[in-house]
Structure 1
């Protein structure tokens, strides 16, 4: 007579622990989301309030009367041409994004694929530039740009930032993991390095390009110190420089600061929402999946 061993049952405590674990995860996510959204709430709330409501003793979740006129006050202000500054930032950010994507991707592809006996030395030199503090090159860069007559021009705002050693490094590391079989098939069809790069590598690397483009656009849009020095004329101010002009030693126009800040982040939100799918895939991607 044979006996069967009793089946082991999973303890119920683990199931309860799993439920509690999920509850804790949802709670932590909710708290993190709340903390993330609080600054945006304060920004919108204060942008649609009067200065008295912003600085008043009694707090209201939202003002009784939303001050939509703050928008017209912002753009009708003759002391700061905010619309012009928004346009300047858009031109600078888009130009820097396109330029860095083109120049740094070509440099990274050349260092990763074109055989050259000094390629490693050039790569190490590029890495060496990352160790030089920005403060060391700031004054020489300004002297050079000033001697060329590029102060208060788009050329002075854009051209010095068209190459990034770190972005070049990222592209090189990415292209090292790119399947060589695709490029070899392109060369069989008669394409050279440029043809393989433009017709094979770029179309299969759009996720990575989108991730770099998003980061570069945000960096160009938020740049402050260099545009502050180069854009000495108010007509050459970028949006970050224009924002700083609403807070001086004599006056602080609270409703204009908050309204200008709320409007200035709209392009960043649009870019992020439009490219977020490619951004996440590009950051996680180190090559093309089999």
Structure 2
């Protein structure tokens, strides 16, 4: 009589095949987090040092004497109104975000829900705009803005960038998966496309709108080339343009640059930390795989 050996325990066999398990995942996540935090550490470290310590031959993990007085230097510099630059960036970022969400969400909703003969052609035209390099449209956009007299104005900084083909595409993908039953119920109550969009779709899509707001605000805040060209007067500089003015052919004030950079990054950190869960959830709801 022959006996067969018992089969290996299922979970143990699965554990052997599954690799390192949770410990390996936590280790990889920890390493990735450390690499992600290295730039922030360097910015904060250099912001609280002297120029001699930053450029010295000996590496120092932390400043020997923390210079908290560096915090006020960007606001005391007579050559750059850094407080006004922060305010300009805040105004541009908020208005650019609100306008982009309104324009692109309406365009995406129309492409996803309003049937008409040329809807597919319009959608393809939007996709084509994603393939056009920014350098191709930069000069014509500046000529148009200049002819309208919008140089050194918030209109010139905000209006040309209100439409984004990529954001419109994401909104269309999201609205394609939005429950049609809610809109049909709204139409039974006598609402048209605009009423269904504003009173039904938007209130039930706040998570996705928050995700798009995060991406759009960060993009608007970090914009440099267009504000540099349009904001020719120092009073209309954004924070990114103000940062570039600290580096000249004659002098480079390292600790001042790093301290101003830390202050310019702080609003983005707060926005990201506050809206990060909606950012991940909103991107997942677009229907994009991979």
Band the TM-score falls in, shorter-chain normalisation: over 0.9
Per the alignment, residue 142 of structure 1 pairs with 142
RMSD between superposed Cα atoms in Å: 2.1
Using the TM superposition, give the Cα deviation of residue 80 of structure 1 relative to its aligned residue in structure 2, in angstroms. 0.6
What are the residue-to-residue correspondences of 1:110-125 with 2, within 5 Å? Answer: 110-125=110-125
Per the alignment, residue 48 of structure 2 pairs with 48
- Once residues 148 and 255 of structure 2 are traced to their aligned partners in structure 1, the CA distance between those partners, rounded to angstroms, is 39
Per the alignment, residue 274 of structure 2 pairs with 274
- Once residues 162 and 274 of structure 1 are traced to their aligned partners in structure 2, the CA distance between those partners, rounded to angstroms, is 24
Per the alignment, residue 7 of structure 2 pairs with 8
Using the TM superposition, give the Cα deviation of residue 124 of structure 1 relative to its aligned residue in structure 2, in angstroms. 2.0
Per the alignment, residue 190 of structure 2 pairs with 190
Aligned residue pairs total 286
Structure-1-length-normalised TM-score: 0.92
- Once residues 85 and 18 of structure 2 are traced to their aligned partners in structure 1, the CA distance between those partners, rounded to angstroms, is 53
Give CA deviations for 1:2-49 in whole Å, capped at 9, x if unaligned: x99764332867656768443333322222222111111111111001
Using the TM superposition, give the Cα deviation of residue 63 of structure 1 relative to its aligned residue in structure 2, in angstroms. 1.2
Gaps of 5+ in 1: none
Per the alignment, residue 181 of structure 1 pairs with 181
Q: Which moved more, 1:78-87 or 1:18-27?
A: 18-27
CA contact (8 A) 2:170 2:286 kept: no
- Once residues 9 and 130 of structure 1 are traced to their aligned partners in structure 2, the CA distance between those partners, rounded to angstroms, is 54
Give CA deviations for 1:129-148 in whole Å, capped at 9, x if unaligned: 22222111111111111111
Q: Give the match's secondary structure for 1:170.
A: helix
Per the alignment, residue 107 of structure 1 pairs with 107
Per the alignment, residue 172 of structure 1 pairs with 172
C-alpha spacing 1:16/1:205, structure 2 compared with 1 (3 Å): same
Per the alignment, residue 130 of structure 1 pairs with 130
CA contact (8 A) 2:107 2:168 kept: yes
- Once residues 119 and 165 of structure 1 are traced to their aligned partners in structure 2, the CA distance between those partners, rounded to angstroms, is 15
